[in-house]
Structure 1
Amino acid sequence: MTDRLTIALAQLNPTVGNITANIDRIRNARAEAAARGADLVVCPELVVTGYPPEDLVMKPFFLDLVEKAVRGLAEETADGGPAVLVGTPWRDGGKRYNAALLLDGGKVAATRFKVDLPNYGVFDEKRVFAAGPMPGPINFRGVRLGVPICEDIWSADVVETLAESGAEILIVPNGSPYEVGKHDQRIQLSVERVTESGLPLIYVNQVGGQDELVFDGASFALGADRKLVAQAPSFTEHLMLTHWQRGADDVWTCAEAERIAPAGDLESIYSALVLGLRDYVTKNRFPGVILGLSGGIDSALSAAIAVDALGAERVHGVMMPSPYTSQESLDDAAESAELLGCKLDTIPIVPAMEAFERMLLPAFAGRDPDITEENIQSRSRGITLMALSNKFGAMVLSTGNKSEMSVGYATLYGDMCGGYAVLKDVYKTTVYDVSRWRNESIPVGALGPAGRVVPERVLVKAPTAELKPNQTDQDTLPPYEVLDDILECLVEKDLGVPEIVARGHAPEVVNKVWRMLHLAEYKRRQAPPGPKITRRIFNRERRYPITNGFTSIA
């Protein structure tokens, strides 16, 4: 039995399905931890496959490769170096489990299976995994380690069982996606488990982007006295060592360790968007991105995020003016590109508009221009961007925000064209807030320039699609501060009209927004993925029937 342990928290960024690369990441973390004197390296949930692996784990040949890779890594621990606690899918008794395996002494020394499988929001684990039995502690060099896996600490039962069966330290591997305020929620939840059990707790979270999820890391440790004793940085891979000692009362305490304060809300939102885009582009092996730079706030912020994520040389902006494009917009798009140092081409869509007008003239005879002609402009731009993407290989970055996605202010095969929508879960008011923050700050790891990256005029002029003369968004929408508050009530909180009206909104406006939200469901089903930052992202967490007679909430 030992009275001292050095435990390394390996906050890693795996790629879903890339078993070889993920094992290499674990191996490299173990080598670094060994050089720094660690006894145990703790990795995130399902790190071997990346999280969430979804239906990959239903393929037996995939699980064959997982098992072979894990057993090969286990053999390497015969070298006398640190043990490794890895998260991986694992088969046992004909069932698939979300497992934590202790690799030590050249073998798989212990297995524990996740008990509480989440099946809400972005999670779908009950469909692909079996629930494990209540676990007992793992005996590691004379220390009894309790290993609840992620959701297992969101209620008291698993930790209570571990405490009652003699666990001394709780170690929690996690695949917990980012959303605003989530870090505080994790800390509070962990404090509850420490309070109930009297045990210190180590929380190791994945980092990185995976389709619509961004994992922020921010791993930490709490003492048995509920004090935060270690805190890893957010949104970056990191190996953090913690040094533990058994006290005279048999309670383990952690010596002073790293404590890096988490970012504030605006910084964390921006960092999540950057990381989500960077990993989507890089892990899918795109050479870069191409986007329409309109001179508006959404495209200006999208371009800034892209440059910070990928570097200016991998970002290609395109201004596509129509007869309604103002000189201000032309100038603002040019300033955006200049501030960021990225390429900007100008390709007018007037020839395409004229060609469609001539082509459709017989069919449209006797009918006045309307939204049809406006949509043709958007679609001409979409075709242009997709043509450039097809020719040069860069991914089209869609620039629509959550407010527009909510109420249908997005054109299918037009401004919704693209492989990734970086602002998909960002309301318009937040777009402005984050843009102002970025003009005054630069996040760690950003590849773009310090200082102003969004032109000042873009932040103060009235938002407009410029699809007809003197058009602004507020011609047909409530002011964005009103719209976004109503949308948050409807989308995130499921509130009814009386509750929303009590916040100061007119009933007819609430019903109008609800109807627009309902009618745009079919568009959102065809939208590209984008990073989740709110409590409820469209499609993955909010699923409404398209054919739906519940059109009024009056």
Structure 2
Amino acid sequence: MALTYTMKGNFFNLYAHGFARVAVGVPRCRVADPAFNAAQTLDLARQAAAQGAALVAFPELGISAYTCDDLFHQGALLEACERALGDIVAGSAALPAALIVGLPLRVNHSLFNCAVVVARGRILGVVPKTYLPNYGEFYEARQFTSGDCTVATQVELAGQRAPFGPAQLFEVADVPGLRFHVEICEDVWVPIPPSSFAALAGASVLVNLSASNIVVGKSGYRHQLVSQQSARCLAAYLYTSAGRGESSTDLAWDGQSIIYENGELLAESGRFLDDSHLILADVDLERLSHERMRQTTFGQSVLRHKAEAERFQTVAFEIGLAADQPLALRRRVERFPYVPADRRRRDERCDEVYNIQVQALVQRLSAIGMDKVVIGVSGGLDSTHALLVCAKAMDRLNLPRANIIGVTMPGFATSERTLQQARALMRVVGCTAMEIDIRPSCAQMLQDIGHPYASGQEVYDITFENVQAGERTSHLFRLANFHNAIVIGTGDLSELALGWCTYGVGDHMSHYNVNASVPKTLITHLVRWVAETGKVGDGSQVLLDILGTEISPELVPGKTDGAPAQRTEQFIGPYELQDFNLYYILRYGFAPSKVAFLALAAWHDRERGDWPEEAHVPRNQYELAAIKRNLGIFVHRFFKTSQFKRSCVPNAPKVGSGGSLSPRGDWRAPSDSEEVVWKADLANIPDAPPHG
């Protein structure tokens, strides 16, 4: 079921943007003391609801405790469990949340290990455990019957009648997209868990009520199990385990609880804690829906397992959630989605991206039988990284780096700094270095077309700029003809997204582009990684100097010596923010209002303690007004003015799951579409948060 989400309620409330807050509670328990256990459960449920959770899960057999063994066949205990459940049902009446609790239940003369779903004073459904472990330390088949061994479809419980059976889905009608399924412990340890079919039937959140004693290595295996199940099912997965208070006659308990979303860990509890504890996470239901819609093989799986999926019955209900009040996101949103904040992971990312680019270029040169490349070297960031990729490709091909023909082409506004950087970089890399002053040919072109500059007027219009860009490109392609080489493109993903490239020239057109799916923020770190790892020998300082150079096309002469007249980010917004916008719009199809909500969570706090460690990373802060303004620039340029450039880009390797803009890859779009629906959604974004 795809979720089409339109913002409802307060912009500053996470539920207005397709999120749902979920929780896992591990109450301290007493073996065979249902009243105590119910009280502990309700206390955690109230805490979770007070913090905005719509769904709270508790451990397997948590009302009785898991370690009751043959006490489960004692009538007094079973009756006490039902009374305790009645207390929980009564206590839930005032809570805007669904609770899932575990207890033993007698149905038709059999005993079942059950999960009971409760909300607003109602028992919504009872789910029996399907797979009963009877190996090692487990012997559940001694006391319980499998949920597959019953013909009952209804159960009388705590004065109510409720659906009974393993094939149930529960849909929270006032939280769009929140449809959950419950399985119990061993159910997820089997080759095909029941939750797999539940996901195909439409469940977006999978819940496991587990007890799960602890032995060496089991904690890590739980992570693997839950991570993979959430990833395969494109779902969120909530997992509980029993904690302090369970019997230690033969076992020990660590009370671990974890929440995953599509393979990513959102929250994890401490282990071996003495007291009751609770974890919460904000699950992105819209993201999960988008992934299922995008990954069409998910739909094919539904068809292949249609009979299993059709077995599920859906119980719909409301929890009375209020989405009109502010409720901030309690989810880590990375400021740099293309660049991991952790140094080790970032180095791994840079190494992999670099090698993908190099391997792709090696393959292209090998396939076409050419051993030379031509590349324009401006002394700026993109051409620097492309040149480094070319150098490594030549090394891999056992060819001399002199087969790289690097050309720097100073124009009317080229600064001495970038010119010297281009010269130094080519010298360090060891390529064949050429320098062509394009001013005479540009002056001739301007004169030929009758441009005012040719008659001495200081007219620096778009034609003046593009004449220079076009001359550079013409030189590169003719040099490639002359040397039997191909032109390597340097334009990056961020520039393509924003249309910040001139149609048909070097940052747009080439024979092969190694940078086309690498965003600007990642290229920055790639160049720094090459410098810090010494991959260019004594050239690290040159790379650091280039990284410290303000980004500018250098096409309009400045009024101050050495200072660029054009500062790219003044025109199109800061790359770090526009790359953030690009990631969520391209990868997940989020509306601008949701992207702004995420950006506010990521960028409004300068002091948040998850910045990359390096001192060179600026600790910028963006308030909502700046986020909205720059998002407006992105929406206009991405959806309205730039697609015709992306529709004809050269071949280039895709490097990451964040997407590319190749019409042969991740992005096919009409060149003459309108931006009205995205502009309309932008209007939903307030200019500032409410006071206080």
TM score, norm. by length of structure 2: 0.41
- Aligned equivalents of 2:470 and 2:668: distance in 1? 27
Distance change in 2, residues 1:405/1:286 (3 Å): same
Distance change in 2, residues 1:487/1:336 (3 Å): same
Q: Does 1:531 align with 2:620?
A: no
Distance change in 2, residues 1:409/1:322 (3 Å): same
Deviations 1:46-94 (A, max 9, x none): xxxxxxxxxxxxxxxxxxxxxxxxxxxxxxxxxxxxxxxxxxxxxxxxx
Where does residue 440 of structure 1 map in the other structure? 532
TM-fit CA distance, 1:281 = 1.6
Where does residue 636 of structure 2 map in the other structure? 515
Partner amino acid, structure 2, of 1:488? Y
Q: Secondary structure at the match of 2:572?
A: coil
| 427-436 vs 526-535, which moves further | 526-535
Percent identity between the two aligned chains: 24
Structure 1, gaps ≥5 residues long: 1-154, 158-183, 194-260
Where does residue 546 of structure 2 map in the other structure? 458
- Aligned equivalents of 1:268 and 1:407: distance in 2? 26
TM-fit CA distance, 1:485 = 0.6
Tell me the number of residue pairs that the alignment of Structure 1 and Structure 2 aligns.
Answer: 302
Q: Secondary structure at the match of 2:551?
A: coil
Partner amino acid, structure 2, of 1:550? E
Where does residue 318 of structure 1 map in the other structure? 407
Distance change in 2, residues 1:388/1:453 (3 Å): farther
Distance change in 2, residues 1:461/1:529 (3 Å): same
- Aligned equivalents of 2:346 and 2:509: distance in 1? 35
Whether the 8 Å contact between 2:489 and 2:512 is mirrored in structure 1 is yes
Q: Does 1:542 align with 2:631?
A: no
Distance change in 2, residues 1:450/1:458 (3 Å): closer
From 402, 405, 423, the counterpart of 1:334: 423
From 479, 489, 495, the counterpart of 1:404: 495
Partner amino acid, structure 2, of 1:384? H
TM-fit CA distance, 1:452 = 2.6
TM-fit CA distance, 1:300 = 0.8
- Aligned equivalents of 2:387 and 2:359: distance in 1? 14
| 535-544 vs 499-508, which moves further | 499-508
TM-fit CA distance, 1:455 = 2.2
TM-fit CA distance, 1:344 = 0.9
Distance change in 2, residues 1:306/1:404 (3 Å): same
Distance change in 2, residues 1:393/1:550 (3 Å): same
- Aligned equivalents of 2:474 and 2:669: distance in 1? 29
TM-fit CA distance, 1:277 = 1.3
Distance change in 2, residues 1:404/1:191 (3 Å): closer
Whether the 8 Å contact between 2:489 and 2:513 is mirrored in structure 1 is yes
Distance change in 2, residues 1:323/1:368 (3 Å): closer
Whether the 8 Å contact between 1:441 and 1:451 is mirrored in structure 2 is no
Q: Secondary structure at the match of 1:344?
A: strand
Distance change in 2, residues 1:359/1:451 (3 Å): closer
- Aligned equivalents of 1:376 and 1:431: distance in 2? 27
Where does residue 576 of structure 2 map in the other structure? 481
Q: Secondary structure at the match of 1:464?
A: coil
Deviations 1:497-540 (A, max 9, x none): 22111122522321220110121110011211111012221121
Structure 2, gaps ≥5 residues long: 1-194, 198-223, 234-344, 396-400, 559-564, 601-623, 683-692
- Aligned equivalents of 1:509 and 1:291: distance in 2? 32
Larger radius of gyration: 2
TM-fit CA distance, 1:282 = 1.7
Where does residue 429 of structure 1 map in the other structure? 521
TM-fit CA distance, 1:298 = 0.7
Partner amino acid, structure 1, of 2:654? K
**How is 1:279-290 mapped onto 2 (pairs within 5 angstroms)?**
279-290=363-374
Distance change in 2, residues 1:496/1:338 (3 Å): same
Q: Secondary structure at the match of 1:433?
A: helix
Where does residue 377 of structure 1 map in the other structure? 468
- Aligned equivalents of 2:378 and 2:511: distance in 1? 19
Where does residue 233 of structure 1 map in the other structure? none
- Aligned equivalents of 2:498 and 2:348: distance in 1? 29
**How is 1:94-133 mapped onto 2 (pairs within 5 angstroms)?**
none
**How is 1:496-515 mapped onto 2 (pairs within 5 angstroms)?**
496-502=591-597, 503-504=599-600, 506-515=627-636
- Aligned equivalents of 2:548 and 2:451: distance in 1? 42
- Aligned equivalents of 1:402 and 1:465: distance in 2? 16
Deviations 1:290-347 (A, max 9, x none): 1000000111111011100113132110000012111111110011112211111000
Whether the 8 Å contact between 2:521 and 2:576 is mirrored in structure 1 is yes
- Aligned equivalents of 2:405 and 2:472: distance in 1? 15
- Aligned equivalents of 1:190 and 1:450: distance in 2? 47
TM-fit CA distance, 1:551 = 4.4
Deviations 1:373-407 (A, max 9, x none): 10111011000001101111111001001111111
Q: Does 1:353 align with 2:442?
A: yes
- Aligned equivalents of 1:376 and 1:282: distance in 2? 34
From 322, 342, 353, the counterpart of 1:269: 353
- Aligned equivalents of 2:458 and 2:421: distance in 1? 35
| 297-306 vs 411-420, which moves further | 411-420
- Aligned equivalents of 2:533 and 2:458: distance in 1? 51
Whether the 8 Å contact between 2:647 and 2:668 is mirrored in structure 1 is no
Q: Does 1:472 align with 2:556?
A: no
Where does residue 104 of structure 1 map in the other structure? none
Where does residue 297 of structure 1 map in the other structure? 381
Q: Secondary structure at the match of 1:476?
A: helix
- Aligned equivalents of 2:389 and 2:567: distance in 1? 25
Distance change in 2, residues 1:190/1:315 (3 Å): farther
The CA RMSD measured in Å over matched residues stands at 3.1
- Aligned equivalents of 2:436 and 2:450: distance in 1? 24
- Aligned equivalents of 1:262 and 1:490: distance in 2? 23
Where does residue 391 of structure 1 map in the other structure? 482
TM-fit CA distance, 1:190 = 12
Distance change in 2, residues 1:361/1:277 (3 Å): same
TM-fit CA distance, 1:269 = 1.0
TM-fit CA distance, 1:410 = 1.0
